[in-house]
Amino acid sequence: MEKDFARIKKNDNTEVVIRVDDFGGKVGLTIREFTNDPRTGYKGFTKAGTRIPAEKFLEFREAINSIPLEDLKPTQSNEASEAKAPVEKKAKAKDSSVEDY
């Protein structure tokens, strides 16, 4: 049994898939990344993710629901660092002495 409940786009190549499934005879909630990477040609689930056993689902849901939405809003220091990030990346790209990995 597999039933997808949500696919949340993470970036151009990756989605977070939330599903209820049966793994090894045990039902649970699986939250995994699904990628369609044109560079590697790989399309499928990655290792990134987690599985919540059915008997722990209510505890997990309570924990998620206890997070105030205000805590998910960016702070001024986060906004400032996000605004600087593209500039820093451009500066690094111009530096030819740094090797690509």
Extents of the domains making up the chain: 2-91
Q: Note the pLDDT tens digit of each residue in 11-30.
A: 999 999 999 999 999 999 99
CA separation for the pair 68, 70 (Å, rounded): 5
> 1-15: buried (b, 16+ CB within 10 Å) or exposed (e) per residue?
eeeeeeeeeeeebbb
Decide if 4 contacts 14 (C-beta within 8 A).
no
Phi, psi of 48, rounded to the nearest 5 degrees: -70, 125
SS3 of residue 89 by DSSP: helix
Q: Note the pLDDT tens digit of each residue in 73-88.
A: 988 766 555 555 554 4
CA separation for the pair 55, 61 (Å, rounded): 11
Q: What class is the 2-91 domain? A: mainly beta
